[in-house]
């Protein structure tokens, strides 16, 4: 088995340590893996806390705007109505611009 770079460096830094006191490459990898696992657990904890905050915000928004659960068909119909209103507003805006340019 070829020693890893860290174990070779450790031997040069601490030549008086017994072999059993030196960390083996496997032990080094285990420690690194544990550190990474702890880091990922902490990140997961933060993500879960963030998820709770977002869910709470979503619930508050639904309550404050009295949003009800709509089916897909109802949402599609609502979208079509919004598009009609947008088109009406756009056409009236264009008409007003045309009229204002005629008056000048």
- Tell me if residue 89 falls in helix, strand or coil: helix
pTM of the shown model: 0.42
Q: What pLDDT digit, counting tens, does each position of 60-97 carry? A: 877 776 667 778 888 898 899 999 999 999 999 999 98
Backbone angles phi, psi at 18, to 5 degrees: -75, 160
- Give yes or no for residue 16 having a pLDDT over 80: no
DSSP code for 67 = P
The phi and psi torsions of 29 (rounded to 5 degrees) equal: -65, -40
CA quadruple 56, 58, 62, 68: dihedral sign:
negative
Q: Is the pLDDT of residue 22 over 60?
A: no
| Contact criterion met (CB below 8 Å) for 42 and 34 | no
Contact indicator for 91, 83 with CB cutoff of 8 Å: no
Distance (Å, rounded) from C-alpha 57 to C-alpha 51? 10
The residue ranges of every structural domain in the chain are 69-104
Question: Contact at 8 Å (CB) between 28 and 7?
Answer: yes
């Amino acid at each position: 088995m070829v020693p890893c770079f860290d174990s070779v460096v450790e031997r040069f830094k601490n030549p008086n340590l017994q072999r059993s006191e030196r960390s083996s490459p496997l032990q080094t990898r285990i420690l690194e893996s544990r550190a990474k696992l702890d880091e990922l657990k902490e990140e997961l904890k933060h993500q879960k806390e963030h998820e709770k905050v977002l869910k709470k915000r979503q619930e508050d928004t639904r309550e404050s705007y009295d949003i009800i659960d709509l089916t897909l068909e109802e949402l599609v119909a609502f979208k079509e109505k919004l598009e009609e209103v947008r088109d009406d507003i756009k056409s009236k805006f264009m008409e007003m611009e045309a009229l204002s340019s005629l008056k000048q």
